[in-house]
Amino acid sequence: MITVKEVLSKKTFHYLQQHTSQDDLTQLVTGVNRVESITLKHLIQRNELVVTTGEAMINPISECLSLLKYMKKVGAAALVINTGPYIKKCQKKLNYMQKK
């Protein structure tokens, strides 16, 4: 298995920005799940690295917050938000949420 820290250290992911505590970096990653709609959050499993662009989200920031809450509940490893046309940037609300 690999940790979130090891994923972030790969050359392929050099552009990713970390918005989490050092403790969260030791979380094990057993798989990757792409979730573009909050209605699919029930598919998220423990230790998964979840990726989203927000493409199918009506209110991406609010829905990402809901996604983070659910991920914490099931023990998912981390959320990768691919910023771009659907989510311009990670807002302070999301950074605050990861601390809870």
pLDDT tens sequence across 72-87: 999 999 888 888 888 8
User: 78: which residues sit within 8 A by CB, 6+ positions away?
Assistant: 4, 7, 20, 24, 27, 29, 49, 50
Total number of residues shown for the chain: 100
Q: What's the rounded Cα separation, in Å, for the pair 28 and 60? A: 26
Alpha carbon distance, N-terminus to C-terminus of the chain? 26
Q: Is 59 exposed, middle or buried (0-12, 13-18, 19+ CB in 10 A)?
A: exposed
Q: Name the one residue in this structure whose structure tokens are 């910023």.
A: 83
Residue 30, classed as helix, strand or coil, is coil
Q: What is the DSSP letter of 94?
A: H
pLDDT in tens, 31-87: 999 999 999 999 999 999 999 888 998 888 888 889 989 999 999 998 888 888 888
